[in-house]
Every structure is written in structure tokens, then in C-alpha cells.
Amino acid sequence: MSALWEDVFSNTQLLEEVVPIAVDAALLHGIIMRTKESPNSSDVVNFAPFTLLPSPVPRTLFEQAKSVQEDFNLLVDRLSQNPTFLEQTLASAMKVDDFVAQLFKVYRRVLEEGLAQSVFLGINRSDYMFDYKADGTMALKQIEINTIAASFGGLSSRTPAVHQHILRTLGKSEEACKILTNNPSLGISHGIAKAWELYGSQNAVVMFLVENVQRNIFDHRYIENELWNRNIKVIRRRLTDVYERGSLDEKKRLYVDGYEVAVAYFRTGYMPQDYSEQGWEARLMMERSVAVKCPDIATQLVGTKKVQQELSRPHILEKILPDFPEAVSQIRDTFAGLYSLDIGEEGDQTVKIALANPEQYVLKPQREGGGNNIYGDEIREVLQSVKNSSERTSYILMDKIKPQPVRSCLLKANGQLQISECISELGMFGVYVRHGEKMVLNEQVGHLLRTKATEHADGGVAAGVAVLDNPYLV
């Protein structure tokens, strides 16, 4: 995995010629975001950060991630139907994490009333890194699975064309042909359309639930446009809009601004600050409805780090997927070491190993969205402060993956060009639709590669740390 494109990176004149071509190609192909200065206006946009050239990814590990995605879809769906497992697993976290507790409060209320919806849609993204072992081999290790607002399916559908164009301008036509086709936005929209169809009302709409600040709107728009191409009406609303102008009729159909909602697709709602008191009321209203929620609240809870840690215990996967032994084996192969911080002997042991060698681990709270993890000496600081408190149960500990850095050229807005030692994270998008008991769709629908300089421990594209990339299989 040595630097693929060293002939380009070491040639200053060539870089000066190709970078403007690359930036224009990104803009031409719609690799764009709104600016930090005007995050809710498209009057001025800039290119989303990306690598000048694709990064090497081991072919066998890419294929492994691809082949296991349908198994992960199945696992997420099964877990979402297992309230006993979710309650037992999250019991300790709920006591100290108000956000998880509030999500579960809504979930419990829905269970008490009885689930109204009969169609279930999952759009998730399983993220991996390539662990470089002492013997020189590499292994695929899962970082997390995102069950809500899994992003960059839209923009990553456009990046292959950009890298193909750049390679051709460099006289690397043969290499350009090796860039993988990738269109997650098509697969995601297909899943939403299937759920809409099974809902069974031609006049009903798909509602995108969006943040107050919508800098990454074009990532949404690619999926929206695919739905419009199928003659499915799309509306965009915030949680407060649903609270103020939403209602349920006697059949628990959800209406917002007079539109019947067939599918509520969440691109927000994964962080505590996404909810006001009105926001929680809106979430409860939606969960009580017959509308298809993506995700429904149970599926969002499946994406918590505590569930991820619990699944790594011996025999747990076998209990969840007793009829799929091969899937259990394939899923387990991707797990990194995961450790509980619950109160008791096991949690005490976890604290001890983390304090002794914090550089070997990552401390993870029950949060999505990137930029939340804790590394190195900060692990010691945090655990010292909470080691004798139940507050520690709001975290899990995970082995730190040690990828092999590769030189890459990162392009960011305002002309920043950075040649650095970099590491990449591979995401696989999965979509499933269940109608009652029957799984009617289960697919791996594309991938996402994000690359960042090794100086950054955490943070994604939206945070301005990682950049969009394409895998170049080696």
C-alpha cells in the first residue's frame, strides 16, 4: 500500500496544473456544499473537500465489507424487533445518559400503545478501518454502524467521475477505468420508494426531517431528485415544523401541512441538541403514526455504542440470528475488541487496562455524527474522573485500530492543498425494507471512502477534518 501516485505528488508543476482542473471537475459534477458563512443559502457554494487522487484499498477487505453488509442489515432489523435485548443492554446507559433515556422513553410509550406501522425501512452505513498487524497483514475492523442519517450517499455517487477525469488528464486512462462505479443515492432512493409504495397511498409524500443548519443539503438533494424522478413528492421539514403543524387522524395517519406522510426520513435527530421539548413531542407523534420512519426509534437505539459492545460478547450473535450461522461468522470477523464499563468487576477491569495503556484504546460515548470519541491521555483524564461513578457506563472502550498511513493529497476549500500521511475509513451503505414479518428488500447499495491526515484523531467530512475519496483496489 505504498503511495500510488508519488509521481504526481512529487511534481510541483504538475500539481499546480492539475489542481484547478480537479476543483472545476468537482464543481461540474456537483461535489458541493454550502459555505460556513451562509449555511442555509445556495447563493454561494464551494466544493466539498476531496482527495486529488483515489486511495489504495485492499481488494479482499473491500469485498469482505461489501459481502457482509446484507448480514448487518438483517442483524439491525432483528435487533429492532427485540425490545427485551434493547432494554437489558441499555439499562445502565439510560441511568446516566439523558439522551438515550429520552429515546427509550419514547420507545416504551410506543410499545405500550402497540406499533402502528407495518412497513419498516432501514438505511444504514457500516464503517470500517484496515487494521495493520505486526505480521504485515491487514484485517477489516468495524468502527460503528450508523442507523440514522447515514450521510454522503449523494456526494459519493458523484466522486468516481471526478477521479476518472483527473486520472485521464494525467495520462492515466488505464487507471481511470479501474475506478469503481458507485451510486448509493440510487439505492437509498429505491429503498425509500419501496417503503412509500408499500405504504399504499399514491398521494402521500416522503418527508425529509432536516436540521436548522443545512450546509450539506446537496447530499440530500441527490436522493430527493431520484424520488421526484419516480413521481414521488418530497417535502423538507424540521422537527419544530412537525410539532407546530403536524397531526394524527383517527387511523394514526400522519399529516404535516395537509400532506399525508408515507415515509419520514431522518437526516437529523441523532444528537441531544437536535431536540427541544417540542422536538421530542414531534418525535413521539411520528413514532405513534402508521408512517414509515427511517429509522424508527428502535432502529436508532440499535445504533448505540453499547449495543455494538454487547454484540461482541460470546454467543450473543447466535441468539439474535440463530438461523444464520454463516452471517454470524462473517459479522464476528469484523469486530474489534470492545469492552464494557458497567459497574462491577468486568467494568473495573476495563478501567484498569485503559488507564494502563490509553494509547491502545478509544473511549466512545453513545453518540453519532463524528468528533465525539476520546483518545490517548484524555482517556486517562476522563476515566480518572468517572472511574468510581456510574457515569462511566455512558461510555464503552474499544481497541484502537492501527491502519497503515498512505501519502495523499487533500483538497479543501479556499485553495488549501495538503500532502500528508493519511488514513482512510470505508463505509458500506445498506438498505432493507420489511413488510410485517417479510423482508422484501435487503441490499448493499454502495460505498463511501473518507480520508484524513494522521494528525487528526477524530472527525468527519462535515466537521472539516476528513475529505471524500474513492477506493482504488489493490
As annotated, the active-site residues are 125, 144, 146, 151, 305, 364, 368-369, 450
* CA 146 to chain centroid: 4
Other CB atoms within a 10 A radius of the CB of residue 337 amount to 14
d(CA 233, CA 248) in angstroms, rounded, equals: 20
Q: For 29-116, where are the alpha helices, taking DSSP H only?
A: 59-80, 83-96, 98-113
Reference 392, options 96, 107, 15; nearest CA is 96
Rounded to 10 deg, the angle between the 184-199 and 217-229 helix axes is 50
Integer angstrom CA distances of residue 386 from 25, 184, 309, 344, 371: 50, 41, 19, 14, 20
Enter the C-alpha cell of residue 231. Answer: 413521481
* Angle (CA) 33 37 39, round 5°: 45
Q: Is 263 helix (H, G, I), strand (E, B) or coil?
A: strand
Contact 397, 339 (CB under 8 A): yes
- Distance, CA of 49 to CA of 180 (rounded, Å): 20
Q: Is 291 exposed, middle or buried (0-12, 13-18, 19+ CB in 10 A)?
A: buried
> Running DSSP on this structure, what letter comes out for residue 162?
H
Rounded Cα gap, residues 166 and 174, in angstroms: 12
For the chain, helix (H) and strand (E) counts, in that order, are: 17, 21
Closest-CA residue to 93 (of 467, 446, 444, 391) = 391
For the record, the C-alpha cell of 257 comes out as 401541512
